[in-house]
Amino acid sequence: MLHTQTKRALTNNLFITDIGYFPNALSHYRKRPKGCPEYILIYCIDGKGGIKVDGKYYDLVPNCFYIIEREKTHTYHSNKTHPWTIYWVHFYGASADHIFRRFTELNHGKPVSIPYQQNKIAEFEYILDIYKLGFTEQVFEYSSMLLHKLLGSFIYYSLKSNTKTESYNDALVNSITEYLNDRIFESIRIDDIEKRFNRSSSTLFTLFKNKTGYSLIHFFNLIKIQKACELMNLTDLSVKEIGYKLDFQDPLYFSRVFKKYMGSSPSVYRKNL
């Protein structure tokens, strides 16, 4: 059905051919001597990897993205020591060449570092959820409209305010996010965060909420549950063991928190994998 999108009025300008999410992709490697028919945006949110296009090599690190030009010889791979976690999307259409040209003009055709923004991940996840409805004409049309916004939020990021205050706040939120991710298997107390960043809890909580759309506690629980899903997918640990590993000492509380974020209990989630 994908080949028909170039003939449809609502999708011919821009449409998705592939989209996905790879967590801790240890053995992720692709080599395409003849390139790919579509453009490929890769957004790294954790770990690191490398991309080589037409003989030029680029490192991709957390909070960094790159767009691989279509029909260009390329390889990309995850780092063996710190495997990357990435969101990626293949896209094409009548406007795709112009979009890539704007990327190279505004961002010099190199990987671009951007402050961590949960809404970018949410946009990827929303499109992935849309495809769960099936590969219908309406789904392709809707995902095409969402793709315009997704690509724009990456390519035109440089248009956002870049005052010293905004840059400092972005860096601070990135540091808080990194701090929380590094302690995903622990419990965090409010005074731990206050001491680490030398700011009052109210200041940090307000700044984090304004920048990410989440409260600190909500975000910390969210990444714990995301890690729980990953462990259920990739390990044989029991649900109780996973809860303990993420420092949920009460299995019933872990189950309630998991269901709040995922819509089902841990046992049901694992059964449906």
What's the pLDDT at 161? Answer: 46
Percent of the chain that is helix, strand, coil (3-state, to 5): 50, 20, 30
Q: Which two tokens stand for residue 7?
A: 């003939």
What's the pLDDT at 21? Answer: 93
What residues are paired with 88 via a beta bridge? 20, 42
What's the pLDDT at 57? Answer: 93
Compute the distance between CA of residue 255 and CA of residue 66 in angstroms, rounded to an integer: 38
Q: Please list the residue range(s) of the chain that carry CATH number 2.60.120.280.
A: 2-159
Q: Does the model's pTM come out above 0.75?
A: no
What's the pLDDT at 167? Answer: 65
Where b means 16+ CB within 10 Å and e means fewer, 202-241 reads: eebbebbeebbebebeebbbbbbbbbbbebbeeeeeebee
Q: How far, in Å, are 39, 134, 157, 209 from residue 127 at the CA level?
A: 17, 12, 20, 23
Q: Looking at this protein, which amino acid is placed at residue 197?
A: F
| Parts of the chain with a pLDDT under 50 | 161-162
Q: Which two tokens stand for residue 230?
A: 């990953």
Q: How many other β-carbons are positioned within 10 Å of the β-carbon of residue 27?
A: 8
CATH number of 164-271: 1.10.10.60
For CA atoms 89, 91, 96, 101, give the dihedral sign: positive
CATH top-level class of 2-159: mainly beta
| SS3 category, 55 | coil
Compute the distance between CA of residue 33 and CA of residue 242 in angstroms, rounded to an integer: 41
What's the pLDDT at 83? Answer: 92
Q: Is the distance from CB of 180 to CB of 219 less than 8 angstroms?
A: yes
What's the pLDDT at 246? Answer: 95
Q: Is the distance from CB of 67 to CB of 108 less than 8 angstroms?
A: no
The CA R_g of the chain, rounded to the nearest whole Å, is 20
Closest to 92 in 3D by CA, of 51, 30, 134, 140: 140
Compute the distance between CA of residue 228 and CA of residue 234 in angstroms, rounded to an integer: 10
Q: Please list the residue range(s) of the chain that carry CATH number 1.10.10.60.
A: 164-271
